[in-house]
Structure 1
Amino acid sequence: MHATSPIRTTCPYCGVGCGVLATPTGPESALIQGDPEHPANYGRLCSKGSALGETLSLQTRLLYPQIGPRRVGWDEALDKVAGEFRRVIDTHGPEAVAFYVSGQLLTEDYYLANKLMKGYIGSANIDTNSRLCMSSTVAGQKRAFGEDVVPGCYEDLEQADLIVLVGSNAAWCHPVLFQRIVKAKQDRPGLKLVTIDPRRTATSESADLHLAIRPGSDVMLFNGLLNYLRQHDRLDFGFMEHLVGLSQALEAARDSAPSVPAVALACGVPETDLVRFYQEFARTEKTVTAWSQGVNQSSSGTDKVNAILNVHLATGRIGKPGMGPLSLTGQPNAMGGREVGGLANQLAAHLEIENPRHRAWVREFWNAPRMAEQPGLKAVELFQAIEQGRVKAVWIMATNPVVSLPDAAAVRRALAACEFVAVSDCEAETDLAAYAHVSLPAAAWGEKDGTVTNSERRISRQRAFLPLPGEAKPDGWIIAEVARRMGYAEGFDYAAPRDIFVEHARLSGLHNEGRRLFDIAGLAELDAAAYDVLPPIQWPVNAEHPAGTARLFAAGGFPGPEGKARLLPLPPQPPFNPPDLDYPLVLNTGRIRDQWHTMTRTGKAARLGHHLPEPYAELHPDDAARWEVADGALVRLESRHGSALARARITPDQQAGSVFMPMHWSDVQARRGLVNALVNPVVDPVSGEPESKHTPVRVGAYRPVWQGFLLSREALAIPGPEYRVAVRGADYWRYELAGETAPDDWRSWAESILAQEGAADWLEFADAHAGRYRCAVLRGGRLRACLFVGVGPALPSRDWLAGLFAQEDLPEMDRAALLAGRPAVAGSDPGRTVCACFGVGMNVLRSAIQSQGFTTVEQIGAALKAGTGCGSCLPELNSLLRGARS
Structure 2
Amino acid sequence: MTADPRFTTTAVRSTCPYCGVGCGVLLARDDAGGLTVRGDPDHPANRGALCSKGAALAETVGLGGRLLAPRVGGRAADWESALDHVAWRLGAIIARHGPDSVAFYLSGQMLTEDYYVANKLMKGFIGSANVDTNSRLCMSSTVAGHRRAFGTDTVPGTYEDIDEADLVVLVGSNLAWCHPILHRRLMAARAARGTRIIVIDPRRTASCEDADLHLPIRPGADVALFNRLLAEIAARGATDTGFLAHVEGAEAAIAAARADRADTGLSEAQIRAFCDMWIDTTRVVTIFSQGVNQSSSGTDKVNAIINCHLATGRIGRPGMGPFSVTGQPNAMGGREVGGLANMLACHMALENPAHRTAVARFWNAPAPLPERPGLKAVEMFDAVAEGRIRAIWIIHTNPAATMPDADRVRAALKACELVVVSDITAQTDTAECADVLLPALGWAEKDGTVTNSDRTISRQRPVLPGPRLARADWAILADIGRRLGWRDAFAWDRPAQIFREHAALSGIAGGFGLDFDISGLAGISDAEYDALAPTRWPVSAARRGGRFYGDGRFHHADGRARMVALTSRPPADMPDAERPFVLNTGRARDHWHTMTRTGRSARLSAHMAEPWLDIHPKDAARLGLAAAGLAEVTSATGRAVLRVRLNNGQRRGEVFAPIHWTGQTAPTGRVSALVAGRCDPLSGQPESKATPVAIRPLAARWLAFAVATRPFRPDCAYWALARTAGGWRAELAGTDPVADWPAKARRLFALANADLAESADPARGAWRGALTENGRLVAALFVAPQPVALMRDHITACLGREAPHVLTGMAPADAPDEGPVVCACLGVGVNAIARAIVDGALSSVAQIAAATGAGTNCGSCRAEVAALIDRLSVPRPAAAE
Q: Where on the TM-score scale, by shorter chain, does this alignment land: which range?
A: over 0.9
Tell me the residue number matched to 2:292: 295
Q: Secondary structure at the match of 2:258?
A: helix
Tell me the residue number matched to 2:703: 707
Conserved? CA contact 1:163–1:193, under 8 Å:
yes
Which AA in structure 2 matches 1:723? Y
> In the TM superposition, what is the alpha-carbon distance from 1:514 to its structure 2 partner?
6.2
Q: Secondary structure at the match of 1:805?
A: coil
Q: Secondary structure at the match of 2:508?
A: coil
CA–CA distance in 2 between the matches of 1:757 and 1:645?
A: 31
Q: TM-score, normalised by structure 1?
A: 0.96
Q: 2:818 aligns with which of 827, 830, 835?
A: 830
Q: TM-score, normalised by structure 2?
A: 0.97
Q: 2:861 aligns with which of 867, 870, 873?
A: 873
**2:82 maps to 1:77:** yes
CA–CA distance in 1 between the matches of 2:303 and 2:502?
A: 30
Tell me the residue number matched to 2:829: 841
Q: 1:587 aligns with which of 580, 583, 591?
A: 583
Which AA in structure 2 matches 1:768? P
Which AA in structure 1 matches 2:748? I
1:236-290 residue CA offsets vs partner (Å, 9 max, x unmatched)? 1110111000000011001114xxxxx6xx1111222211110011110000000
Tell me the residue number matched to 2:210: 206
CA–CA distance in 1 between the matches of 2:795 and 2:424?
A: 33
Which deviates more, 192-201 or 826-835? Answer: 826-835
Conserved? CA contact 1:708–1:795, under 8 Å:
no
1:755-834 aligned within 5 A? 755-756=750-751, 760-805=754-799, 808-810=801-803, 815=804, 817-825=805-813, 828-834=816-822
> In the TM superposition, what is the alpha-carbon distance from 1:592 to its structure 2 partner?
0.4
> In the TM superposition, what is the alpha-carbon distance from 1:687 to its structure 2 partner?
0.2
CA–CA distance in 2 between the matches of 1:746 and 1:225?
A: 62
Structure 2, unaligned stretches of length 5 or more? 1-5, 876-881
Q: Secondary structure at the match of 2:807?
A: helix
> In the TM superposition, what is the alpha-carbon distance from 1:373 to its structure 2 partner?
1.9
**2:135 maps to 1:140:** no
**2:167 maps to 1:162:** yes
Tell me the residue number matched to 1:127: 132
1:509-566 residue CA offsets vs partner (Å, 9 max, x unmatched)? 1163361011001111110011011111111110122xx3121111111011211100
CA–CA distance in 2 between the matches of 1:373 and 1:513?
A: 21
**2:224 maps to 1:220:** yes
Conserved? CA contact 1:27–1:466, under 8 Å:
no
**2:681 maps to 1:676:** no
CA–CA distance in 1 between the matches of 2:826 and 2:36?
A: 16
Conserved? CA contact 2:167–2:278, under 8 Å:
yes
CA–CA distance in 2 between the matches of 1:186 and 1:514?
A: 44
Q: 1:232 aligns with which of 230, 236, 246?
A: 236
1:291-336 residue CA offsets vs partner (Å, 9 max, x unmatched)? 0000000000000000000000000000100001100001000010
Q: 1:483 aligns with which of 481, 484, 505?
A: 481
Which AA in structure 2 matches 1:281? W
Which AA in structure 1 matches 2:741? W
Tell me the residue number matched to 1:552: 548
> In the TM superposition, what is the alpha-carbon distance from 1:742 to its structure 2 partner?
2.7
> In the TM superposition, what is the alpha-carbon distance from 1:844 to its structure 2 partner?
1.6
Q: 2:105 aligns with which of 95, 100, 109?
A: 100
Q: 1:419 aligns with which of 417, 420, 424?
A: 417
> In the TM superposition, what is the alpha-carbon distance from 1:507 to its structure 2 partner?
0.4
Conserved? CA contact 2:248–2:562, under 8 Å:
yes
> In the TM superposition, what is the alpha-carbon distance from 1:859 to its structure 2 partner?
2.7
1:245-644 aligned within 5 A? 245-257=249-261, 266-370=263-367, 371-510=369-508, 512-513=510-511, 515-545=513-543, 548-644=544-640
Conserved? CA contact 1:164–1:287, under 8 Å:
yes
Conserved? CA contact 2:768–2:782, under 8 Å:
yes
Which deviates more, 320-329 or 510-519? Answer: 510-519
> In the TM superposition, what is the alpha-carbon distance from 1:757 to its structure 2 partner?
6.7
Conserved? CA contact 1:28–1:56, under 8 Å:
no
CA–CA distance in 2 between the matches of 1:117 and 1:500?
A: 16
CA–CA distance in 2 between the matches of 1:15 and 1:511?
A: 24
CA–CA distance in 2 between the matches of 1:25 and 1:90?
A: 51
Tell me the residue number matched to 2:180: 175
In angstroms, what is the RMSD of aligned CA positions? 1.4
> In the TM superposition, what is the alpha-carbon distance from 1:802 to its structure 2 partner?
1.7
> In the TM superposition, what is the alpha-carbon distance from 1:826 to its structure 2 partner?
8.2
> In the TM superposition, what is the alpha-carbon distance from 1:27 to its structure 2 partner?
6.7
CA–CA distance in 1 between the matches of 2:749 and 2:548?
A: 61
1:54-102 residue CA offsets vs partner (Å, 9 max, x unmatched)? 1002110101000021000000100111111100110010010100001
Conserved? CA contact 2:157–2:548, under 8 Å:
yes
Conserved? CA contact 1:140–1:305, under 8 Å:
yes
CA–CA distance in 1 between the matches of 2:721 and 2:295?
A: 31
Q: 1:193 to 1:408 in 2, by over 3 A?
A: same
1:378-398 residue CA offsets vs partner (Å, 9 max, x unmatched)? 000100001111110110011
Q: 1:717 aligns with which of 687, 691, 713?
A: 713
Q: Secondary structure at the match of 1:223?
A: helix
1:169-228 residue CA offsets vs partner (Å, 9 max, x unmatched)? 010000000011011111223x11000000000001111100000000000000000000
Which AA in structure 2 matches 1:658? E
Conserved? CA contact 1:446–1:463, under 8 Å:
yes
CA–CA distance in 1 between the matches of 2:589 and 2:185?
A: 17
CA–CA distance in 2 between the matches of 1:595 and 1:737?
A: 21
Q: 1:511 to 1:16 in 2, by over 3 A?
A: closer
> In the TM superposition, what is the alpha-carbon distance from 1:662 to its structure 2 partner?
0.5
Conserved? CA contact 2:845–2:865, under 8 Å:
yes
CA–CA distance in 2 between the matches of 1:381 and 1:626?
A: 39
- Which 4+ residue blocks in structure 1 deviate beyond 6 angstroms? none
Q: Secondary structure at the match of 1:830?
A: coil
CA–CA distance in 1 between the matches of 2:245 and 2:536?
A: 27
Which AA in structure 1 matches 2:854? A
Conserved? CA contact 2:347–2:509, under 8 Å:
no
CA–CA distance in 1 between the matches of 2:822 and 2:252?
A: 50
> In the TM superposition, what is the alpha-carbon distance from 1:582 to its structure 2 partner?
0.5
**2:651 maps to 1:655:** yes
Q: 1:826 to 1:846 in 2, by over 3 A?
A: farther
Structure 1, unaligned stretches of length 5 or more? 258-262
Conserved? CA contact 1:163–1:287, under 8 Å:
yes
Tell me the residue number matched to 1:260: none
Q: Secondary structure at the match of 2:799?
A: helix
Which AA in structure 2 matches 1:689? Q
> In the TM superposition, what is the alpha-carbon distance from 1:626 to its structure 2 partner?
2.0
CA–CA distance in 1 between the matches of 2:74 and 2:751?
A: 29
Conserved? CA contact 1:406–1:690, under 8 Å:
yes
Conserved? CA contact 2:362–2:505, under 8 Å:
yes
CA–CA distance in 2 between the matches of 1:446 and 1:306?
A: 38
CA–CA distance in 2 between the matches of 1:743 and 1:766?
A: 13
Conserved? CA contact 1:764–1:776, under 8 Å:
yes
Conserved? CA contact 1:57–1:604, under 8 Å:
no
Tell me the residue number matched to 2:879: none
Q: 1:659 to 1:471 in 2, by over 3 A?
A: same
